[in-house]
Structure 1
Amino acid sequence: MNNPLARALRGAGINTVDVAARLGVDPKTVQRWMSGRMPYPRHRDALVRLTGWSQHDLWPDLPRPTQPEASGDEVRIVYPHRSTVPTDAWSRLFADAKAEIDILAYSALFLAEDITVSTLLRDKAVDGVRVRIALGMPDGVHVNDRGGEERIGDGMSARIRTALIGFHPIAEAGGELRLHDTVLYNSIYRADDELLINTHIYGRPASHAPVLHLRRWAADGMAATYLDSFERVWDSADKISR
């Protein structure tokens, strides 16, 4: 099954019987959900908690709010680790950008190797969206330290060099590439007011760490703090000639 709910449950390692037992429903009901039937709201909430996916990732046809919630909460969803973020969430994030796309990471190789995302970023740059990508300096001190922490040695530097090749067409299309030598506590992926923040955990690859999906509501909120961090690293990073 290619239904988002089926993919989410498979990714979380939860089978139909497990879901039925936890939610107190018949396994046939779960099978119908996985085939496309919409669950009741209380069951949707429970499935969000079980999978770590947002309601709109699980059921894309749900209506989306046009105004911020009264609470002004900037946290849309927390994914337990990056591999649970729906594959198409990255392309949908960048596809909605009208003015700015920012990427701050050590390598972001998973995006550079994603032909859908890399082509989208290139097309956005051609269309006049400001695309800025800051990757770790392959021979930098902190990249070397990160490689040691993850026990991959020079593997981190190799990932960055490979990612630079993948991102090169974006630079040719008008995007900006820079290299930084800073300690990253998070990787930042931004499209206008939407951000995916991949936290970093000592000794673990970023793909194993949680991801926060934020929407900026306020000039001094959580999202603004991450955006300020991006600007500080960007200003200190070295430009790469096209």
Structure 2
Amino acid sequence: MSPEVLWPKAVRSAVKTGPDREIVSAYPYRNACPTSVWASLIDGASQQITFAGYTNYFVWQEQPRLAARLARKAQDGCAVRFIVGDPDSEVTRRREAAEAVPLTVGTRIRITLDALEKIKHSPGIEARFSDEHIALSVFTFDDQMLVTPHISNLLGHESPLLHLRRLGEDGLYDRFAAHATALWQNGRPIWPDDGTTTTTS
């Protein structure tokens, strides 16, 4: 029987029975999500971590000793990937004009690049440029994910955030994970001499 038959309307309104079961929490602002949630997801992941935010700047500011934690994760076999915007691209320049703040998008990206430079030789840590995710940030931690759709000219911390957990095929998690995978496959190596090749299919 379908959930509509099994569950009275009053119960269905309080118990998730559809694709929204994958939504663990929703926050009207990214910075309303506790830093402890981010820490738990980062430290709890063992297979893969992907930071597909356009700048990823805030994670270095909010997570103590992040570089060392990620390097240790990578050494233990966890694949760590960063997908960031190109600080010199036209997409970045347009976003800087829209935000019109002193700490520019390009500067925030370069802070991430500087942090990554210090750990780029740790096996398992990779990074690529992409200009295709200016309006959507996806951060994956094994079977959990944090997603931020960026609103208008607002900064990332002012946009909403969803905490998702994968529960089945082709759900919300898988849809956003496919987006992150496409970004990675079409991305450009940040360190051209590191042996990384760009996949376009």
Q: Report the TM-score range of the alignment, normalised by the length of the smaller protein.
A: 0.7 to 0.9
Residue-by-residue CA offset, 1:72-118 (whole Å, 9 max, x unaligned): 61001001101111112111111111211111011111112333333
Q: What TM-score results when the alignment is normalised by the length of structure 1?
A: 0.67
State the aligned residue count.
Answer: 174
State the one-letter code of the partner of 2:184.
W
Measured at CA, do residues 235 and 153 of structure 1 come closer, stay the same or move farther in structure 2, by a change above 3 Å? farther
For residue 76 of structure 1, what is the aligned residue in structure 2?
Answer: 24
2 CA distance for matches of 1:121 and 1:132?
10
C-alpha displacement at 1:220, in angstroms? 0.5
Q: Aligned Cα RMSD in Å?
A: 1.8
For residue 48 of structure 1, what is the aligned residue in structure 2?
Answer: none
Which region of structure 1 is more displaced relative to structure 2, 141-150 or 209-218? Answer: 141-150
State the one-letter code of the partner of 1:99.
Q
**Equivalent residue runs for 1:19-34 within 5 Å:** none
8 Å contact from structure 1 (residues 91, 117) kept in 2: no
Q: What TM-score results when the alignment is normalised by the length of structure 2?
A: 0.80
For residue 82 of structure 2, what is the aligned residue in structure 1?
Answer: 133
Runs (5+) with no aligned partner, structure 2? 1-15, 195-201
1 CA distance for matches of 2:99 and 2:77?
37
For residue 142 of structure 1, what is the aligned residue in structure 2?
Answer: 91
Q: Percent identical across equivalent pairs?
A: 28
State the one-letter code of the partner of 2:117.
H
- More RCO (CA 8 Å, sep 6+): 2
**Equivalent residue runs for 1:199-210 within 5 Å:** 199-210=149-160
For residue 60 of structure 2, what is the aligned residue in structure 1?
Answer: 112
For residue 132 of structure 2, what is the aligned residue in structure 1?
Answer: 182
- Computing the radius of gyration from Cα coordinates, the structure with the larger value is 1
Residue-by-residue CA offset, 1:155-179 (whole Å, 9 max, x unaligned): 1101101111112233221200111
Runs (5+) with no aligned partner, structure 1? 1-68
1 CA distance for matches of 2:67 and 2:149?
22
